[in-house]
């Protein structure tokens, strides 16, 4: 596991199942406990007809004592903070699915989990927990405390380029799938910026296009607008990658933000318009409605594809900002 486990990460989490947010390793202690439980059950079943086994059973600890387990990683004050923060706002199964389905490298997987566990050595951690420095402020903006949350989704110095690059990678996946649905030409590379407008007989797709309306609306430049000419429908898509605890709030904000534009499009273009927010937390958390939103967008975009893109973007941001060695 060279590079596959951060030294300050949770060892308990190594042995939790991947679908529950762990690394899925088999614990020697858990294996011994399981085998011991089976032996105990066998002796308990046979004891009434075997004097030797009956004597063994009397000397054995109670089954409850034998099967008693220690605390879980979710209960730890620091390591479990992320899990507790997203429990009320996220679909936990889908939020952790990238551990099973994304196929990330061990060191990238370890980096994202270390960030979730507050195990990365940020300036706030060094000042407030390790007491190895006095100033907890961010090395880039020099204002807010340099926490994991600040680096991944809250630093104004990263907003212009790093966050936008991550955002556009996620939006680009949705865009390319829409183009494929209508037989439109897609960008040759995922790093290539799509054209502002592409159009064919069946559909028109706008990318980051400022839309002029009869009544002025402040929010008139969503990430993607799809106009299906045959069905007389329009879909307004906007992507966000906030801090994981804010995913549900951000989803609601996106819906409210573009209601004015939706109404204007319906009047001006004579279509039925829908607003679709695509929100993924910087460390992978998603709301219970993400799959439902994606199904309203033309083409086939899976939740794992946009989630994987978001966490990979976050990993790049962390490596660059914290100047982490190659293994992380």
Q: pLDDT 10s digit of each residue in the chain, 328 long?
A: 567 888 899 999 999 999 999 998 887 877 787 788 788 787 777 777 777 767 777 776 554 454 556 678 898 988 999 999 999 999 999 999 999 999 999 999 999 999 999 999 999 999 999 899 999 999 999 999 999 999 999 999 999 999 999 999 999 999 999 999 999 998 888 889 999 999 999 999 999 999 999 999 999 999 999 999 999 999 999 999 999 999 999 999 999 999 999 999 999 999 999 999 999 999 999 999 999 999 999 999 999 999 999 999 999 999 999 998 655 4
d(CA 86, CA 116): 11
In CATH, the number for domain 159-318 is 3.40.1350
Backbone φ and ψ for 9, nearest 5 degrees, come out as -75, 170
Q: How far apart are the first and last CA of the chain?
A: 12
CA-derived radius of gyration, the chain: 25
d(CA 244, CA 149): 8
CA distances from 274 to 150, 168, 178, 259 (A): 32, 21, 15, 9
pLDDT at 22: 93
Residue 317's nearest CA partner among 101, 143, 190, 169 is 169
d(CA 222, CA 263): 14
Looking at residue 49, what DSSP letter applies?
G
**Neighbouring C-beta atoms of residue 279, cutoff 10 Å:** 27
pLDDT at 28: 81
pLDDT at 64: 47
The answer to whether the CB of 169 falls within 8 A of the CB of 190 is yes
pLDDT at 284: 98
d(CA 72, CA 281): 24
The answer to whether the CB of 299 falls within 8 A of the CB of 177 is yes
pLDDT at 70: 62
The boundaries of every CATH 3.40.1350 domain in the chain are 159-318
User: Within the chain, what is the greatest distance between any pair of CA atoms?
Assistant: 92
The residues facing 99 across adjacent strands are: none
pLDDT at 328: 47
Sheet (strand 197-199) strand order? 197-199, 203-207, 224-228, 233-240, 272-279
pLDDT at 68: 54
């Amino acid at each position: 596991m060279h590079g596959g486990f951060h030294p300050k990460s949770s060892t308990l989490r190594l042995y939790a199942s991947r679908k529950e947010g762990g690394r899925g390793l088999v614990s020697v202690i858990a294996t011994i406990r399981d085998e011991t439980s089976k032996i105990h059950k066998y002796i308990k079943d046979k004891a009434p007809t075997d004097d030797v086994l009956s004597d063994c059973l009397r000397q054995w600890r109670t089954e409850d004592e034998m099967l008693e387990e220690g605390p879980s990683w979710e209960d730890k004050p620091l390591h479990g903070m992320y899990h507790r923060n997203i429990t009320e706002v996220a679909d936990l199964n889908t939020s952790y699915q990238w551990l099973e389905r994304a196929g990330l490298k061990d060191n990238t997987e370890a980096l994202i989990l270390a960030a979730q566990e507050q195990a990365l050595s940020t300036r706030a951690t060094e000042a407030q927990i390790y007491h190895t420095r006095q100033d907890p402020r961010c090395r880039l903006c020099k204002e807010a405390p340099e926490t994991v949350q600040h680096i991944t989704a809250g630093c104004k110095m990263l907003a212009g380029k790093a966050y936008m690059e991550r955002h556009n990678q996620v939006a680009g996946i949705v865009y390319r799938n829409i183009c494929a649905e209508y037989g439109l030409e897609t960008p040759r590379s995922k790093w290539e910026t799509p054209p502002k407008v592409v159009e064919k007989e069946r559909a028109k797709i706008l990318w980051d296009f400022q839309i002029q309306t009869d009544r002025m609306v402040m929010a008139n430049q969503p990430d993607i607008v799809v106009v299906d000419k045959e069905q007389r429908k329009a879909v307004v898509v906007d992507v966000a990658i906030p801090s994981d605890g804010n995913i549900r709030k951000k989803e609601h904000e996106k819906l409210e933000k573009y209601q004015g534009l939706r109404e204007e499009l319906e009047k001006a273009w004579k279509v039925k318009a829908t607003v679709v927010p695509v929100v993924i937390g910087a460390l992978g958390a998603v709301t219970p409605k993400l799959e439902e939103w994606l199904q309203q967008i033309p083409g086939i975009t899976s939740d794992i594809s946009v989630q994987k893109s978001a966490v990979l973007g976050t990993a790049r941001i962390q490596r660059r900002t914290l100047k982490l060695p190659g293994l992380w």
